[in-house]
Structure 1
Amino acid sequence: MQHSPSVGRRQLLRAGGALGLAAAAAPLLPATAQAAQGGPRTTVTDLGPAIGQFALMSGILVGDTVVIGSRNLTPTRLIAFHLPTRTVVSRTDLGSGHSVQALAVDASGRYLYAGILAKADEGGPNLFRWDLATPDAPAVAVGRTEDRDIRELAVAPDGTVYAVGGIPGKAPALWRYDPGTGLVTKLGVPDPNATLARAVAATDTTVFFGAGSTLAGGDGASRASLYAYDRATGTFTDVTPPEMEKDPSLRELAVVGDRLVVTTAGSTEPAKLAVMDLADLSSYTLARTGGKVAKTLTPDGERIYFSGEAGLHAYTLATGSIAPVRSDVGDLGEVWGLDHVDGGLTVVSGYGFVAEIDLATGTSVVTDLGRAGAPVSPQTCMGIAADRRSVYVGGNNVIARHDLCGGEVVNLRAPGEAKDAEVLDGVLYTGQYSSQGMWTYDHAVDAQPHRLAEFPSEQNRPLDLCFDAVNGLLLAGAQSDTEGGGSLWTYSLEDGGKAAYINPVDEVQLVRAVATRDGVAYLGGDNPTTRGPRGTVVAFDPVAGRELWRIDLPLATGVAALAVRGPHLYGLTRKGGFFVVDLRIRRVVHTADLRALCPGFAAMVTCRGWVYGVSDTTLFRVHPKTFAVTTVVAGIDGAWYSGPHVNTDGLGRLYTLRGHHLVRVDDRPVL
């Protein structure tokens, strides 16, 4: 999208020097953060674990036991859920990474391999093996791929293990682990423009590698690609069905007899499912699933079962038709494990349960894993919102409600992740990742949260939510993982009217931060790629859907957070740059280097006439006259998964995390 010239466009700060975050620019920054604590007027109250559940991200049936991998728990762990007794009979801790997303078992059923989503600052192994013949013995680390995150594993009939995944900024490779030698070997990068690989399958002769741009799309990133790797010659051949090339990524692969089953992740089009002849990969049948998700493939000889955003479906091999699977379970949430056994399906749900569904009758037995013996632990968190009665904390497939009056904590079910949230007149509103739109929950009338509004599915990652009281609009800044760029969402609380303004900053900058004043939305742009502009601030009319003016800040990284107090717009960048814009003259009037307090992502909120910020390490405040920054709580070290959050309850009390615990901060500074 091209922007026509407007008042204030591309006008940079002349007094005070550049804002750049590079070390070379540091001498130009006129202020530094104060290290002083908030003082005796600051009270911090511990409200206990923010979210407690057994969160999960993978599941696989081995014999009569389902092995399940944890998600965003410390430590990462595997549990074994015994179907005949419906109890957790064993567990092992891996001790590193965020989550266990990839599980595979060898042909004997003895060795279970687990691949983790590693932490950015953590070295060490990311591939583990658990001997299921001796489950009381811990899993052992067996290797590491240079692609930090392992997203999928496959074990060939001869016991060789293949892994795929990714690391930001590099194209994903195919990796091999040889149990005989203990060596992990890089076999090559078949698609140099891919950003992530999430699918792998293996036969005696061939390994199939599926990749694309599920994350970091746009900017020349490739779309769905499928490669066949010849194990004898070590060469890759592109075998992508042409009908799948428009989708952003291959989602899953499975070898079923003499056929290869392939699914894509949908974005602007529905996800697709293909059944390919292993003897002639150019021969295949293809179906459109009708949804944007098709994963967790499992066969019964006549059908291929898979999960989507609307539940379970079955693809009939003889007819190529797709039909929903009848079940009395209701909402399954995110399905991370699906297996067929004895005329039924075993489902591992992100809601923390295992469902056993009888295909003939549609009846089911649902077992809560926490009650079955799975360890319930504090989870890393996402969005946070509060009023004088409740605090809500978002996690994976859960929103925890903390009752401030009685102290009760209840886990509510919400698919995906509540990336940010607001409470208005006692009603919760959230932005739900991925492609879930806005959700809402009224404690007075609702049993569970429900969807309020859908938005374009490719605009899948809402990042910041705020309320425009002048226009009565909820505003959400969003990112498109698959297409690049982002959007501004608006939703009217009065009449339910909604709009999505695509790429309001430009075609590469997502909208990471949103603030509002006098009916104007201020959008903070961020560009996760290595090329193009970043750090643009746009003043936007959310009713007319048009830009009013903009400032292109000379930033090395983009905007992480925005807040408004009086005539000033306050902003933080993703690496500790701090700036203040005078909205009356549309100029930057102050900058500072806060890298000591904000080494990465941050959030901001206005409370009691002050602007507060929180980073991964520190809660701090900004003086409204001098713009000096003072530490309120040092070493707060919140256990956040996708960036820190802070919010206020309307009474002037702040809520954020200290470690895995929810804390209330009552700060009463004196001007």
Structure 2
Amino acid sequence: MHHASPVGRRRLLQAAGAVGLAAATAPLLATTAPAAPAAPRTRITDLGPAIEQFALMSGLLVGDTVYIGSRNLTPTRLIGFHLPTRKVVCRTDLGSGHSVQALAADPTGRYLYAGVLTKSDEGRPNLFRWDLARPDKPAVGVGRTEDRDIRALAVAPDGTVFAVGGIPGKAPALWAYEPGAGAVTRLGVPDPKATLARAVAATDTTVFFGAGSTLSGGGDASKASLFAYDRAAGTFTDVTPPELEKDPSVRDVAVLGDRLVVSTSGSTEPAKLAVLDPADPSSYTVTRTSASVVKRPTSDGKKIYFATDSGLQSYATDTGAVEPVAFDGPDLGEVWGLDHADGTLTVVSGYGLVVEMDLADHTSAVTDLGRAGAPVSPQTTMGLAADDRYVFVGGNNVIARHDLRGGKVVNLRAPGEAKDVELLNGVLYTGQYSAQGMWTYDPGKGGQPHRLAAFPTEQNRPLDLCYDKVNRLFLVGVQSDTEGGGSLWTYAPRTGKKSARVNPIDENQMVRAVATQDGVAYLGGDNPTAQGPPGTLVALDPVAGRELWRIDLPLPTGVAALAVRDRQLYGLTRKGGFFVVDLQIRRVVHTADLRGLCPGFAAMVTSRGRVYGVSDTTLFRFHPKTFAVSTVVPEINGSWYSGPHIDADARGRLYTMRGHHLVQIDDRPERHS
């Protein structure tokens, strides 16, 4: 889809000058003092909203209307898409959260329940109910689970709502909402070593709870687990089929007729589909798929249909045959809704599409939700890369291309999330989450982005991408959500040769940041566990895979960002620790506490002989000799989803986010600043 960004939208703003905040010889994590402001020499050009789309994260068919929950939009909202007219006919805004992943309807079809995801414990409701008989009235918050994020909902035949999800650092619980009592109750934690629950289904007598370690895996975290909760006795029983136990997590659970269908997310093995007898879960069959995820099962009575990372597939319950679902429509990308009714599959695609598939003749009708009346608005963003012609910004199932010559913005489709992106000779390269590998797009050739290289499925979360000019390699720092630790990917665009070096720092540390100079890769480690050093810097020969040296950093948290200037390596940690390493003597020569400017994640880039950093709140630069930090743009407050990004074009102009808008920053500091 295309969204124009008129030239008239771009405006020039004069930013206040730099404000020095740190002394050159700041002691280890000492608080830095402000200095006098310099002359204003910073020009900011507003390039308009970075990404505009109706981004979504859930879909559910109720009657003749598909209800869809938004993703990373403000405000979080629900819409109703009417199938007979193919129009958006209703909407409601919710009062908290950033995304809606969980939807469920009560047995009468009157009430729609929605569970939201939040970035922090806001103390507000995360469970909402919308009266579909009066869709003009707003949804109301009916309660809150202590597990901050609700990932899945189910409504039992008696109207009781069950919710599961998670919060970092706690094992997920099963929660119940009784509409008559109006209260949310914690029913217990069946698996104390699980890190996240994403599946729940309910009958009159039993609730099925699916969990595992899709996030924060590794160590002693649990793998896929399925528990049956006896509603009368209030007890949990482990009913996990042994064949599923190597997968990191149960992804979906659904009661379809007289069957309980359970699917998993894969990692070191492909994902599985299990069909159980809900009255006797020990009676089951398991099918191994070729996909890395199986989700959203639905059925026509003879076949079970499900979504994978490579399209829709079906499972014949009589023969056990698994085959692709044939239809004449487009690539679906991530599928967030899949329902069957009257010989038609209704698919809600992360590309902002509703696709109706006729299973008899394999035809389809495709509707773009934006054109059908869904509210298109700015989305929070991810990776960012710029050259003198284009700026690319990654989001959910989209990469926005901004043309600097005319201001036009084009939304390109790419499944998952472009966590980081890089431009080389005008061609875009991306690290795609989850487990999508590296994708590419050549503006000169047109079309859409396509997959360039796959990497081990368990090495699923690319975090930082840079190009090694000496070895002609892309270097990608990666986290393994399911197994712990991480890897360094390398890819040679001229030859197509690739490699994945697993756990190059240690078994606990992901490779959160990568920088390169003179053919050496510098890896910044981040350890989410309590075992071993919190953050380690490793110098590596990326061709031979040979470690050259390492430093366990004298800081309490792991590395968030790295940048090289001359013979010095600059680094920022996840909580505002700043360090400089002299690459000739291989020692940390400077540290400072920048939590006032950089309270969390950060990114850095070298431009015009200076290293710049951006946090969620502020754009700043470092003095090349004293390392003193100066504010360039205060309260920039970029609307990032998974940490800020910054890039520079060949002329040294910087690009990052200010609120939901992409901005170009031409900064020319005085020599003394």
TM-score range, shorter chain: over 0.9
Q: Deviations over 1:155-175 (max 9, x none)?
A: 000000000000000000000
**In structure 2, do the counterparts of structure 1 residues 153 and 510 end up closer, same or farther at CA, with 3 Å as the change threshold?**
same
Q: Kindly state the Cα deviation for residue 441 of structure 1 after the two structures are TM-superposed.
A: 0.6
Q: Kindly state the Cα deviation for residue 375 of structure 1 after the two structures are TM-superposed.
A: 0.2
Q: Kindly state the Cα deviation for residue 570 of structure 1 after the two structures are TM-superposed.
A: 0.2
Would you say the 8 A contact 2:209–2:227 is kept in 1? yes
**What are the within-5 Å matches in structure 2 for residues 226-241 of structure 1?**
226-241=226-241
Would you say the 8 A contact 2:567–2:582 is kept in 1? yes
State the partner residue of 1:401.
401
**What are the within-5 Å matches in structure 2 for residues 235-634 of structure 1?**
235-634=235-634
**In structure 2, do the counterparts of structure 1 residues 624 and 251 end up closer, same or farther at CA, with 3 Å as the change threshold?**
same
Would you say the 8 A contact 1:37–1:633 is kept in 2? no
**What are the within-5 Å matches in structure 2 for residues 119-138 of structure 1?**
119-138=119-138
The one-letter amino acid of 1:104's match is A
The one-letter amino acid of 1:561's match is A
State the partner residue of 2:85.
85
Q: Deviations over 1:502-522 (max 9, x none)?
A: 000000000000000100000
Would you say the 8 A contact 2:387–2:648 is kept in 1? yes
Gaps of 5+ in 2: 1-25
Would you say the 8 A contact 2:121–2:148 is kept in 1? no
Q: Kindly state the Cα deviation for residue 121 of structure 1 after the two structures are TM-superposed.
A: 4.9
The one-letter amino acid of 2:104's match is A
**SS across alignment from 2:444:** coil
The one-letter amino acid of 2:526's match is D
State the partner residue of 1:100.
100
Output the CA distance in 2 between the equivalents of 1:286 and 1:214: 20
Q: Kindly state the Cα deviation for residue 392 of structure 1 after the two structures are TM-superposed.
A: 0.2
Farther off after superposition, 316-325 or 388-397: 316-325
Q: Kindly state the Cα deviation for residue 667 of structure 1 after the two structures are TM-superposed.
A: 0.3
Q: Kindly state the Cα deviation for residue 289 of structure 1 after the two structures are TM-superposed.
A: 1.4
Output the CA distance in 2 between the equivalents of 1:279 and 1:513: 49
The one-letter amino acid of 1:308's match is T
Output the CA distance in 1 between the equivalents of 2:377 and 2:352: 12
State the partner residue of 2:189.
189
**SS across alignment from 2:511:** strand
State the partner residue of 2:170.
170
Output the CA distance in 1 between the equivalents of 2:651 and 2:33: 27
The one-letter amino acid of 2:44's match is V
Would you say the 8 A contact 1:274–1:287 is kept in 2? yes
Would you say the 8 A contact 2:488–2:501 is kept in 1? yes
Q: Kindly state the Cα deviation for residue 29 of structure 1 after the two structures are TM-superposed.
A: 3.1
The one-letter amino acid of 2:292's match is K
Would you say the 8 A contact 1:35–1:631 is kept in 2? no
Q: Kindly state the Cα deviation for residue 217 of structure 1 after the two structures are TM-superposed.
A: 0.3
**SS across alignment from 1:531:** coil
The one-letter amino acid of 2:185's match is T
State the partner residue of 1:57.
57
Would you say the 8 A contact 1:534–1:557 is kept in 2? yes
Q: Deviations over 1:207-233 (max 9, x none)?
A: 000000000000210000000000000
**SS across alignment from 2:528:** coil
Output the CA distance in 2 between the equivalents of 1:450 and 1:314: 25
Output the CA distance in 2 between the equivalents of 1:598 and 1:289: 44
Would you say the 8 A contact 1:59–1:68 is kept in 2? yes
Output the CA distance in 1 between the equivalents of 2:38 and 2:174: 51
The one-letter amino acid of 2:29's match is L
State the partner residue of 2:22.
none
Output the CA distance in 1 between the equivalents of 2:561 and 2:407: 31
Would you say the 8 A contact 1:400–1:409 is kept in 2? yes
Q: Kindly state the Cα deviation for residue 31 of structure 1 after the two structures are TM-superposed.
A: 6.3
The one-letter amino acid of 2:321's match is S
Output the CA distance in 1 between the equivalents of 2:532 and 2:128: 39
Output the CA distance in 1 between the equivalents of 2:641 and 2:28: 33
Computed over aligned residues only, the root mean square deviation of the Cα atoms, in angstroms, reads: 1.1
Q: Kindly state the Cα deviation for residue 79 of structure 1 after the two structures are TM-superposed.
A: 0.2
Farther off after superposition, 31-40 or 268-277: 31-40
Q: Kindly state the Cα deviation for residue 363 of structure 1 after the two structures are TM-superposed.
A: 1.1
Would you say the 8 A contact 1:286–1:320 is kept in 2? no
State the partner residue of 2:656.
656
Would you say the 8 A contact 2:382–2:420 is kept in 1? yes
Would you say the 8 A contact 2:147–2:167 is kept in 1? yes
Q: Kindly state the Cα deviation for residue 34 of structure 1 after the two structures are TM-superposed.
A: 4.0
Output the CA distance in 1 between the equivalents of 2:510 and 2:248: 18
Farther off after superposition, 602-611 or 277-286: 277-286
Output the CA distance in 2 between the equivalents of 1:441 and 1:38: 41
Q: Kindly state the Cα deviation for residue 327 of structure 1 after the two structures are TM-superposed.
A: 1.1
Q: Kindly state the Cα deviation for residue 205 of structure 1 after the two structures are TM-superposed.
A: 0.2
Q: Kindly state the Cα deviation for residue 342 of structure 1 after the two structures are TM-superposed.
A: 1.5
Output the CA distance in 1 between the equivalents of 2:444 and 2:528: 41
Q: Kindly state the Cα deviation for residue 540 of structure 1 after the two structures are TM-superposed.
A: 0.5
Output the CA distance in 2 between the equivalents of 1:370 and 1:531: 48
**SS across alignment from 2:435:** coil
**SS across alignment from 2:243:** helix
**In structure 2, do the counterparts of structure 1 residues 123 and 384 end up closer, same or farther at CA, with 3 Å as the change threshold?**
same
Would you say the 8 A contact 2:463–2:512 is kept in 1? yes
Q: Deviations over 1:536-575 (max 9, x none)?
A: 0000000101110000013321000000000000000000
Would you say the 8 A contact 2:39–2:670 is kept in 1? no
The one-letter amino acid of 1:93's match is D
State the partner residue of 1:4.
none
Output the CA distance in 1 between the equivalents of 2:622 and 2:33: 10
Output the CA distance in 2 between the equivalents of 1:442 and 1:529: 40
**SS across alignment from 1:482:** coil
State the partner residue of 1:636.
636
**SS across alignment from 1:415:** strand
Would you say the 8 A contact 1:38–1:667 is kept in 2? no
Output the CA distance in 1 between the equivalents of 2:369 and 2:529: 40
Output the CA distance in 1 between the equivalents of 2:350 and 2:36: 43
**SS across alignment from 2:500:** strand
State the partner residue of 1:3.
none
Farther off after superposition, 580-589 or 277-286: 277-286
Would you say the 8 A contact 2:80–2:91 is kept in 1? yes
Output the CA distance in 2 between the equivalents of 1:494 and 1:348: 37
Q: Kindly state the Cα deviation for residue 532 of structure 1 after the two structures are TM-superposed.
A: 2.8
**SS across alignment from 1:243:** helix
**SS across alignment from 1:44:** strand
**SS across alignment from 1:370:** coil
Q: Kindly state the Cα deviation for residue 528 of structure 1 after the two structures are TM-superposed.
A: 1.7
Farther off after superposition, 391-400 or 441-450: 441-450
**In structure 2, do the counterparts of structure 1 residues 35 and 347 end up closer, same or farther at CA, with 3 Å as the change threshold?**
farther
Q: Deviations over 1:39-76 (max 9, x none)?
A: 42100110000000000000000000000000000000
Q: Kindly state the Cα deviation for residue 257 of structure 1 after the two structures are TM-superposed.
A: 1.9
State the partner residue of 1:154.
154
Output the CA distance in 1 between the equivalents of 2:194 and 2:479: 18
The one-letter amino acid of 1:146's match is E
Q: Deviations over 1:90-147 (max 9, x none)?
A: 0000031110000000000000000000121522110000000000000000000000
Q: Deviations over 1:238-284 (max 9, x none)?
A: 00000000000000000112221101110110100111012221110
Would you say the 8 A contact 1:33–1:597 is kept in 2? no
The one-letter amino acid of 2:476's match is A
In the alignment of these two chains, the number of paired residues is: 646
Output the CA distance in 1 between the equivalents of 2:559 and 2:177: 41
The one-letter amino acid of 2:345's match is L
Would you say the 8 A contact 1:113–1:130 is kept in 2? yes
Output the CA distance in 1 between the equivalents of 2:217 and 2:654: 36
